[in-house]
Amino acid sequence: MEKQNIDFIKNFNPVWFAAVLGFGGIALASVLITQIFDAAWLKPLAMILVYFNFVLLLYVFAIWLLRAILYFDGLIAELKHPVVAGFHSLMPAAVIMISINFSKLGLPLSLWQYQTIAVVFWVIGAVFEIIFLTLTLYYLIINEKMNVNFMNGGWLVPPVAALLTTIGGLNIVLFISSVPVASNLLWINYFFFGAGVFIFFLLAFSIFTKIFFAEKLDPKVFPSLWIMMVPFSLMALCLSLFAETTGLFLPDFKNALTGICLLLNPMLIGIGVWLLILLMLLSLYYFKNIKVPFGPGWWAFIFPTASVSIASLNFAVLTRRLFFGYIGVIIYVLLLGLTVVVIAKTLKSLTTKNEHKAVTV
């Protein structure tokens, strides 16, 4: 059994952090639906998910940390690997999700010590994110064996994590009492936003070039393509938060930033919804004609779907336009369906592995 535990740590897949992102996204969408449609019964679900997510993050982070300490060379080797390098940024993204859960939902759900937890987890996530964002791009650039067929949706995880870091930081700005600290934090989040947007568009063009003109994505990494829609949803959320937080320090610019938000958000949400439809059609094609084997990567279906629902619901809250609220709810129902399927597949996979180990022992 001891050898099995060691092997589990040594072979730990950072893609499991995507489960934390998925559950966190469901919690955020649930609370937004309660605000729009007065669905109070969703609040207990959101609270359960937030605390469950907190425990889940501590568990998978402890395993990841043990692996980083005991098998540091293996971690560096994966950061240099052109296929799996980007997936390690799921770790800081998951840490930031805990910060967002507590900072965004803490007050309405009366979560314990929500401000302290939000700040601590944002700092930890932001530090790891800038390290992984830099190292991932650095190793991809200097890799002399690089070719277009290595590209996959996992390359988009670092810029997604940067945009999530922005959202987490801007939420913290709203409750920090020290004006100088809050002001400096605001400008730091402009940096994360700029880096995330730039790197996303840089890599997205490259990935579409691969899909159009080179080999199709390997079925094992196909679910990662769903990450493509996340940055558009996160950009929409960032713009509304920038208008609110920047207006606290530069009130003369608040109306202009709000106008930009109202102009661009429907476009960004529209892109996210359209990509969701396209990716669902592509998924049907892959599952029917190519076959997609189950793996932790299936959790990539959850948070991207949640992000589109959250962006639409958030815009409905800002503008009181139920049209966006209904879109968000429709996607939310799809999100719950996908989550049930992925959880069932995950439990079945884990049960099968445990039975196989028991027989082996």
Q: What is the mean pLDDT of the chain?
A: 90
- The enclosing H or E element of 39 equals none
pLDDT band at 3 (very low <50, low <70, confident <90, very high): low
For the segment 257-271, the average pLDDT, to the nearest whole number, is 94
Whether the per-residue pLDDT at 361 is higher than 50: the answer is no
Q: Which two tokens stand for residue 62?
A: 């402890």
What is the reported pLDDT for 331?
97
For the segment 341-353, the average pLDDT, to the nearest whole number, is 86
Residue 216 is given by DSSP the state P
For the segment 167-175, the average pLDDT, to the nearest whole number, is 94
Q: Which of 150, 171, 163 has its CA nearest to residue 101?
A: 171
146 CB neighbour count, 10 Å cutoff: 13
Query: In angstroms, rounded to a whole number, what is the distance separating the alpha carbons of residues 78 and 86?
Result: 9
Query: In angstroms, rounded to a whole number, what is the distance separating the alpha carbons of residues 158 and 224?
Result: 13
CB neighbour list of residue 306: distance below 8 Å, 6 or more residues apart: 21, 22, 25, 26, 28, 29, 335
Q: Which two tokens stand for residue 154?
A: 């996992």
DSSP string of 122-146?
Answer: HHHHHHHHHHHHHHHHHHHHH-TT-
Helix (H, G, I), strand (E, B) or coil at 71: coil
Q: Which two tokens stand for residue 134?
A: 């830099």
Say if pTM beats, i.e. exceeds, 0.85.
Answer: yes
What is the reported pLDDT for 277?
96
Helix (H, G, I), strand (E, B) or coil at 110: coil
Q: Which two tokens stand for residue 70?
A: 């005991």
CB neighbour list of residue 216: distance below 8 Å, 6 or more residues apart: 290
CATH-assigned architecture of domain 2-360: Alpha/alpha barrel (1.50)
Long-range residue pairs from 346-355, CB within 8 A, at least 24 positions apart, any chain? 346/19, 346/296, 346/298, 346/299, 349/294
pLDDT band at 265 (very low <50, low <70, confident <90, very high): very high
Residue that the structure tokens 């007050």 belong to: 107
pLDDT > 90: percent of the chain: 63
Q: What is the pLDDT of residues 172-231, one digit of tens each?
A: 999 888 899 999 999 999 999 999 999 999 998 888 888 877 777 788 888 999 999 999
> What are residue 293's phi and psi, to 5 degrees?
-65, 145
Residue 214 is given by DSSP the state S
CB neighbour list of residue 250: distance below 8 Å, 6 or more residues apart: none
For the segment 91-107, the average pLDDT, to the nearest whole number, is 93
Quote the distance between the C-alpha of residue 192 and its chain's center: 15
Neighbour-count burial for 251-266, b at 16+ CB within 10 Å, e otherwise = eeebeebbeebeeebb
Q: What angle do CA 100, 26, 285 make, to 5 degrees?
A: 125
What is the reported pLDDT for 1?
45
pLDDT band at 12 (very low <50, low <70, confident <90, very high): confident
Query: In angstroms, rounded to a whole number, what is the distance separating the alpha carbons of residues 332 and 329?
Result: 5
Q: What is the pLDDT of residues 243-259, one digit of tens each?
A: 999 988 888 888 899 99
